[in-house]
Structure 1
Amino acid sequence: MDYVYFTDEQKQRANSVDLVDFLERQGEKLVRSGHEWRWKRYDSVTVQGNEWFRHSRKEGGHAIDFMQEFYDMSFPEAVQWLLGGESGVEWNQTDKNAPAPKKEFALPDANPDMRRVFAYLIKQRFIDREALSRFAHEKLIYEDKQYHNAVFVGLDENGIARHAHKRGTYTQGEPYKGNVEGSDPRYSFHWIGKSDRLFVFEAPVDLLSFLTLRPKDWMNHSYVTLDGVSEHAMLRQLELHPNLQKVILCLDHDEAGIEANWRLRDILAERGYMDTEVLQSVWKDWNEDLKARHGITPIPASEHPKLALLPKVCEGLSGLCETLAPQKGLRAFLEDCAQELEPLTASGKVTPENTGTAMDCLECMAAGSLLLLKDLCRTMERPVTAEQLVRKLQSEYKPHEDRGWLRSRMEDIRRNLADIGRQIDTPGIRSEDDMKRLCRSYLSLALDCVKARMFVKLESPELVPEQEQAVNFTMIM
């Protein structure tokens, strides 16, 4: 579709649509889950107000990217629909609805002893007894009276409990885990030492496993759990303790953990924390490393499939740049490639017989854009080689920003082409800032083509389970 301009107020209004109201009016089934609603069609997805979260992938957002992710819409289509332009329906806004009553936080009653918790954490999870005793002495770990769960307590800056994570101690089946209702996510389970180092983990058992594996002077350092991969608890401890300047991310060695490392490093950099490090377990997480030490077969680690594929997708680009170099009219060449792609991707899918052609077009567009960037750098008297530009392209890739289905990716490519066209067609002499802006646009187009090519290779709808495909729907009035 053609480029559509939206005001900031329109985008904010679209992003504020109440997703519970929206889904219910589509006839979707929602199940109450604490203060959230679980979507039965995708049982790993919860919604609350205008926010959604997919727990299986540790990702979420607001109303606009919800429409892009689950209803296969481009950004303009999503905004128009949420504003009522396509359906004529006025969706409820989150600020028009009273929030669900929030239950007052209260710690579960404590059991008189901790025998079951100690037995579970020491015998089943192999946690060091001395470290566990230290946390128990500080009343940061205890056993609840009713269900004998292990309770991991998070205190605020005044020593008042604000958060509690419960972990079941039964060894049969998948153990229960969850937060006490009313927990403040800024104050999850943590330990604050005197050094300048903050170690960050997904869950309490990961933290305790790490201390067991690396016990030397552990009390001198600081540790915080995220109860997943949300940044709030980490940022709160950094805010409260200015001495913490080096952040070591110790998240799970899997796709979600690796992606979260990139996202959290960006968040930290925005706040001036440049001294960050990623520390990975050998196996899936630190407790699996601990199990392996005790002779139990661990769950293996897994790498991020897109990060593994990226060098392979980029390896032929520098050679293709040389092939395209003698060609005249590279901008027209990019437009021709885009036009050839249109019928192949119009349905939001690439058929198996068209996959090769689509990938070739995307590769040619990426190489052509890099070649235009190379020529512009030469004009600016900053010559670079194609190999250097390919390395720069790879360094710009961030897996947590690579989202959406094929239609939204093609919309990004069209938007970049239009942006480049506007800059080139603007009359007058370009300033240095203008040329830098055009350089960024060329690199952005090349990167979007690489992302789309990886999607076709890795995540084409023909290759994912039916329940994970975008929903084709008819609005219920």
Structure 2
Amino acid sequence: MPYIHFTEEQKLRASEVDLVEFLRRHGEKLIPSGAEYRMSSDHSVTVRGNEWYDHAVKQGGGPISFVQQFYNLSYPEAVTRLLDGEQGCIYTAAPKQEEKPKEEFALPPANRDMRRVYAYLLNRRFLDRDVVSAFVRAGLLYESCEISKDKTREYHNAVFVGKDENGVPRHAHKRSVNDIGKTSRINVEGSDPRCSFHHTGSSDRLYVFEAPIDLLSFLTRYPRGWQEHSYVSLCGTSEHAMLWMLEQDPSLRTICLCLDHDAAGIEASGRLTEILHEHGYDEVGVIQPEHKDWNEDLKARRGLPAQEAEEHPQLITASEICDRISRRVDRSRRDYWEQDIPNLIDYAKINLQWKQFDRAMECMEHASALALAVYERELRQLGERCSTEELADALYRRILPHQNRGSLHRRPADLTTQFQSVLEKALAPGIRSGTEKRALADRWLELAVSFAKVPVKYGADILEQQQKQAIPQQEMG
């Protein structure tokens, strides 16, 4: 877009926009999480006032960077969006955040009995009584009773307790058992995120879940000998509790990630897998429920309506795009990659600036096919051959949604840097060994993947927008 000059007052006003209000007005569902809100469409992202933080990639900032990152807008476009074009409604500024002293952890007061919790978990969540009772006897599950400030109401919650290595409670996750009103799920203030709700067994296997009820639902579904293994609920998607379990028991070597079957769960599984590999754990597997989560599977087994699994939009679009790119390999000019690839990056950058997105995506697919063609040529020189289907699969398996985030406008600069690095290796003088030839081929494949990620992300963004637009229509229907 053309250059837009913003006054310092306008920039300040944009940087103080309340992100909670902004997201709600844009149709984003927000989930309360302590003093913050978690985005329903991306559980790893939390917002509070005019601040955001992405726990998956460990970065955050203010409203301008948020809109740039999650709406794929340039800086002037982001400021214009936050100021609503300087006409009509202007978003209110977020109140200044005051640093609160960290509260000491304390378990919520216990109720006299567990009638409500048992009724909720057994009759509404369909959990096995023996499984629930085992955690009750271990002091890891009880019913709380809290009085409202005006002393007119009682709040009853299922409290899932996490203990440290000495058996001392350090974490508590509360879940409302009331049938009426909005369901509340929250970690108690002062909880240590490492010591989340868990069970320690004697085998070398650790099962990882998002929520305590997911964990208990899995044990209900697969009860045979469950006490032998270890289980942990992350109470979200952060890795802290999982890594703490592994630190406490070095014999745990096989990790099964059993997160939700939705976009957030798929991204978290990919991110946690990388973290585990970085810590030296090679035996990492992903087990997905048939429906959205393990409790929905229990509902389905009883013949009740269950929320369907949600595939990640990027994985949906990646299949067609990778197949399309691989079919272009035979038509690509392998001997002209040194000139063609930089030109395609430049054309894509110009088209992105002028919002000619379809043309920009065509450039990215063409560049990906060209890099993939050079990769295929390198393999042939090593005595290996790849079919069109094998090339498409090689691309698809490397499209990892948790790695493919952020603004599309920044991609051309990153791709130029990556291409220059590959170019330097490809044009280096001397005779290459077999290992060096293999490494160069892999670099070409990774470059092809990086190009393919751009149209995959663009297509997924469009698909998500269509899905959001379809929800109100379905509700009206």
Task: Give the conservation status (yes or no) of the 8 Å contact 1:248–1:276.
Answer: yes
CA distance in 1, matches of 2:321, 2:444: 18
Alignment-derived partner of residue 261 in structure 2: 253
Task: Give the conservation status (yes or no) of the 8 Å contact 1:35–1:100.
Answer: no
1:142 partner SS: strand
CA distance in 1, matches of 2:12, 2:171: 31
Alignment-derived partner of residue 402 in structure 1: 404
CA distance in 1, matches of 2:422, 2:59: 29
Task: Give the conservation status (yes or no) of the 8 Å contact 2:102–2:190.
Answer: yes
Alignment-derived partner of residue 276 in structure 1: 284
CA distance in 1, matches of 2:210, 2:42: 22
Alignment-derived partner of residue 135 in structure 1: 135
Q: CA deviation at 1:190?
A: 0.6
Alignment-derived partner of residue 304 in structure 2: 296
1:229 pairs with 231, 234, 237, which one?
A: 237
2:329 pairs with 321, 324, 327, which one?
A: 321
2:145 partner SS: coil
Alignment-derived partner of residue 372 in structure 2: 370
Q: CA deviation at 1:169?
A: 0.6
Structure 1 residues 187, 51: CA separation in 2 closer, same or farther (over 3 Å shift)? farther
1:215 pairs with 223, 228, 231, which one?
A: 223
Q: Does 1:29 align with 2:26?
A: no
CA distance in 1, matches of 2:231, 2:42: 32
Structure 1 residues 448, 460: CA separation in 2 closer, same or farther (over 3 Å shift)? farther
Q: CA deviation at 1:110?
A: 0.9
Alignment-derived partner of residue 429 in structure 1: 430
TM-score after normalising by structure 2: 0.77
CA distance in 1, matches of 2:316, 2:462: 17
Structure 1 residues 409, 463: CA separation in 2 closer, same or farther (over 3 Å shift)? farther
1:143 partner SS: strand
Q: Does 1:391 align with 2:393?
A: yes
CA distance in 2, matches of 1:154, 1:30: 32
**Aligned-residue RMSD, C-alpha:** 3.6
Q: CA deviation at 1:305?
A: 1.8
1:70 pairs with 59, 62, 67, which one?
A: 67
Alignment-derived partner of residue 102 in structure 1: 102
1:71 partner SS: helix
Aligned length: 415
Q: CA deviation at 1:382?
A: 4.7
Q: CA deviation at 1:72?
A: 4.8
Q: Does 1:418 align with 2:415?
A: no
Alignment-derived partner of residue 445 in structure 1: 447
Alignment-derived partner of residue 461 in structure 2: 459
Alignment deviations for residues 89-110 of structure 1 (CA, whole Å, 9 cap, x no partner): xxxxxxxx99742111111111
CA distance in 2, matches of 1:466, 1:423: 44
Alignment deviations for residues 31-61 of structure 1 (CA, whole Å, 9 cap, x no partner): 8x88855599x9985358999435xxx7452
2:397 partner SS: helix
Q: Does 1:150 align with 2:147?
A: no
Q: CA deviation at 1:371?
A: 1.7
User: Letter of the aligned partner of 2:397 in structure 1?
Assistant: S
CA distance in 1, matches of 2:283, 2:380: 34
Task: Give the conservation status (yes or no) of the 8 Å contact 1:196–1:246.
Answer: yes
Q: Does 1:334 align with 2:335?
A: no
Structure 1 residues 375, 65: CA separation in 2 closer, same or farther (over 3 Å shift)? farther
User: Letter of the aligned partner of 1:385 in structure 2?
Assistant: C
Alignment deviations for residues 399-418 of structure 1 (CA, whole Å, 9 cap, x no partner): 21011121122332222233
CA distance in 2, matches of 1:224, 1:24: 43
Alignment-derived partner of residue 175 in structure 1: 183
Alignment-derived partner of residue 26 in structure 2: none
Structure 1 residues 463, 329: CA separation in 2 closer, same or farther (over 3 Å shift)? same
Q: Does 1:113 align with 2:113?
A: yes
CA distance in 2, matches of 1:150, 1:448: 46
- Unaligned ranges ≥5, structure 2: 1-10, 21-31, 76-96, 147-154, 470-477
User: Identity rate of aligned residues, in percent?
Assistant: 40
Q: CA deviation at 1:330?
A: 2.3
Structure 1 residues 232, 462: CA separation in 2 closer, same or farther (over 3 Å shift)? closer
Structure 1 residues 174, 136: CA separation in 2 closer, same or farther (over 3 Å shift)? same
Task: Give the conservation status (yes or no) of the 8 Å contact 1:28–1:39.
Answer: no
Task: Give the conservation status (yes or no) of the 8 Å contact 1:246–1:275.
Answer: yes
CA distance in 1, matches of 2:377, 2:100: 57
Alignment-derived partner of residue 315 in structure 2: 307
1:248 partner SS: strand
Structure 1 residues 446, 276: CA separation in 2 closer, same or farther (over 3 Å shift)? same
CA distance in 2, matches of 1:309, 1:344: 21
Structure 1 residues 53, 334: CA separation in 2 closer, same or farther (over 3 Å shift)? same
User: Letter of the aligned partner of 1:164 in structure 2?
Assistant: A
Q: CA deviation at 1:458?
A: 2.5
Structure 1 residues 37, 234: CA separation in 2 closer, same or farther (over 3 Å shift)? closer
1:344 pairs with 340, 348, 351, which one?
A: 351
1:7-18 equivalences in 2 (<5 Å): none
User: Letter of the aligned partner of 2:136 in structure 1?
Assistant: A
Q: Which moved more, 1:148-157 or 1:308-317?
A: 308-317
Task: Give the conservation status (yes or no) of the 8 Å contact 1:330–1:368.
Answer: yes
Q: CA deviation at 1:178?
A: 0.2
Structure 1 residues 193, 23: CA separation in 2 closer, same or farther (over 3 Å shift)? farther
Structure 1 residues 142, 466: CA separation in 2 closer, same or farther (over 3 Å shift)? closer
Q: CA deviation at 1:391?
A: 3.0
1:403 partner SS: coil
CA distance in 2, matches of 1:102, 1:423: 52
User: Letter of the aligned partner of 1:155 in structure 2?
Assistant: K
2:237 partner SS: coil
2:412 partner SS: helix
Alignment deviations for residues 368-409 of structure 1 (CA, whole Å, 9 cap, x no partner): 111222334455x35443634443332322221011121122
1:152 partner SS: strand
Task: Give the conservation status (yes or no) of the 8 Å contact 2:19–2:47.
Answer: no
Alignment deviations for residues 333-377 of structure 1 (CA, whole Å, 9 cap, x no partner): 222322322321125x445xxx1x333222211111112223344
1:414 partner SS: helix
Alignment-derived partner of residue 84 in structure 2: none
Task: Give the conservation status (yes or no) of the 8 Å contact 2:42–2:264.
Answer: no
Structure 1 residues 98, 145: CA separation in 2 closer, same or farther (over 3 Å shift)? closer
User: Letter of the aligned partner of 1:62 in structure 2?
Assistant: Q
